[in-house]
Amino acid sequence: MANEDVKVDSPSMHLEEIDHKKDGMNLPAVASERIKTTLFQVVFSMFVGISGWMYNFDLGFSGVVLLMQPYNRAYGHCVPMPDGKGGTIERCALSATQQSLISLSIIFIGVGSAIGGHVGHYLGRRGTIQVGSLIIAVGSSTMLATAGNFTAYMACKCIQSVGLGHLLAAVPPYGVECVAPGKRGMLMATFNVGLGLGNMAAVAVCLASSKYTTNLSWQTPIICQVPVAVVLGLGVRFFPESPRWLLANGKEDAARRSFARFYSKDPLSPVVTAQLQETMHYLEVERTLNAKTTWLDIFRGTDLRRTLTSTLVGTGVALTGSKFLSTYAAIFLAGVGIRNPYHITLSFAGCACFGGLISPFTLEYLGRRRNLLVGYACMGSCMFIVAIAGSVLGQTSTKTQLLCTAFICFWGVSYGGFVGTSLTVTTSEMHAVKLRGYGQAFVITVYELLSFGSSFATPYMISASYGNMRMNVGYFFGGET
């Protein structure tokens, strides 16, 4: 057990230094131990990134697949059209209403998150991830058999989305509770990079499978999600349960072993004991605070201002174009005459991924508020430039299309590097500790509802049969930004 002079000043203190001072370990041994700990946490962070990959893969696939004729033939309406050579060719497309209904899955992600929170109370973080992975695998598998029935397709997609919601409810808390505070920036980076890679992977797979003329073209991206869900569900068994959850449920011995795995130390080492005592102290503080707290407190006094500020940040992420470009970028680019929308969408996803890589540095160097201001300034400028170019140079101009391509990609870098991380970091930091659970649940609920509204409206804005805004949609999202 730890000696009396072992002290943990704050959660950010390097606990390895305690063990070094107490046990007199030689420097090579300390270095070797730290390398083991870092490697284990790197692997764990990569595992966390897979959940982000799955979330954005599904969103990316949902929009890019709208370009595939076999998909439109399976679920849309077909009409004969002249082929320019004196004959006719059958062209199929989903209606704007059908395209909008695809965003209904966002609501079920929110439902899945709410259910996942309750599941996690009883099954822990690992159990919730396994349940979510199972639901995703079932939903994805059944989607393969729904050709010709759009209602059945959407029902299966919503089931899959409930599984994605479980992952969002379990994975971020699991990572925060297990990774050392000094390395949580890396964790945040891998989750955001996972989001970017998921979008890139969806576009890349759709680009490769678009060459098929059968239902296999749109079924291939769905098939890809099944083994990833299985790997996630089985792979989580190789990591210990969250020590914080174990302590909250009275399992002190298991929590000690969990900390030992994550810090690559003996369960009875001073480092593990110090971390265990510190976590138990904070849990006791939370229990004391929660006993005097109700969820209505987030709407009272100073906490109301905190809630409104956090909600404003979440609202910005939902309404400033993230759902527009993450889901409908491909059909938007095709609609404005760009001949290679798959490739441009892939480039956009890569730019957003690059932004995710630099996000930990911008977040800490600029601060939360300035980070958002820089990001919104860049994103708004990009949207206005695209819209103005379309108005001045003409929607079909080659120069306009080049400008559109360049600034859509720059928008992706700005969003990934400055704004995207605010949903998981800045919003949660706004609330008082005792109200963080209630406050963040409210903010994420508002975010999901606004994301659904923005996503649902987008197909009507860009559809040739309705708003037909084309590049003028930049004025709308630039104004919102």
Q: What is the pLDDT of residue 278?
A: 86
What is the amino acid identity at position 78? C
What are the angstrom distances between the C-alpha of 447 and each of 30, 154, 420? Answer: 45, 22, 13
Rounded CA-CA distance 29/170 in Å is: 35
d(CA 199, CA 166): 19
CA angle 413, 327, 424 (to 5 degrees): 55
Extract the tokens encoding 204: 């890349």
Q: Which helix (H) or strand (E) holds 80?
A: strand 77-82
Mean pLDDT by 10 residues, the chain (481 residues): 38 44 55 68 77 85 87 88 72 87 88 84 88 94 92 94 88 76 65 80 89 91 93 89 86 89 82 86 78 82 91 92 86 84 84 84 85 95 95 89 92 91 80 76 85 89 87 94 94
b/e burial code for range 332-349 (CB count within 10 A of at least 16 → b): bbbbbbbeebbebbbbbb
Computed over its alpha carbons, how large is the radius of gyration of the chain? 24
Please tell me the predicted confidence (pLDDT) of residue 29: 60
Helix (H, G, I), strand (E, B) or coil at 79: strand
Nearest CA to 408 out of 469, 457, 352 is that of 352
With tokens 């909008």, the residue in question is: 100
Contacts of 332 (CB under 8 A, 6+ apart): 324, 325, 462, 473
Both tokens of residue 378? 């860049």
How much is the pLDDT for 27? 60
Q: Which sign, positive or negative, has the C-alpha torsion 263, 264, 268, 270?
A: negative
Q: How far apart are CA 270 and CA 81, in angstroms?
A: 76
Reported pTM: 0.82
- CB atoms inside a 10 Å sphere around CB 470: 19
| Cα–Cα distance for residue pair 135/229, rounded to 1 Å | 9
Instruction: Kindly report each contact of residues 7-11 with a partner whose C-beta sits within 8 Å and lies 24 or more positions away, as own/partner.
Output: 7/274, 8/274, 8/275, 8/277, 8/278, 11/181, 11/278
The ranges of the chain annotated as CATH 1.20.1250.20 are 14-239, 293-481
CA distance 190 to 53: 10
Angle formed by the axes of helices 216-235 and 150-178, to 10°? Answer: 30
d(C-alpha 331, C-alpha 328), whole Å: 6
| CA–CA separation, 60 and 195 (whole Å) | 10
Closest CA to 218 of 145, 132, 138: 145
Assigned fold of 14-239: Growth Hormone; Chain: A; (1.20.1250)
In sequence order, the β-bridge partners of residue 77 are: 93
- Output 204-207 pairs: Cβ under 8 A, ≥24 positions apart: 204/346, 205/61, 206/61, 206/64, 206/65, 206/67, 206/68, 206/342, 207/342, 207/343, 207/346
> What tokens were used for 443?
């903010």
Tokens 């999600």 -> residue: 225
Are the beta carbons of 150 and 257 closer than 8 angstroms?
A: no
Show contacts of 334-341: CB within 8 Å, 24+ apart: 334/67, 335/462, 335/464, 335/470, 336/390, 336/395, 336/401, 336/404, 336/470, 336/471, 337/395, 337/396, 337/401, 338/401, 338/404, 338/405, 341/67
293-481 folds as Growth Hormone; Chain: A; (1.20.1250)
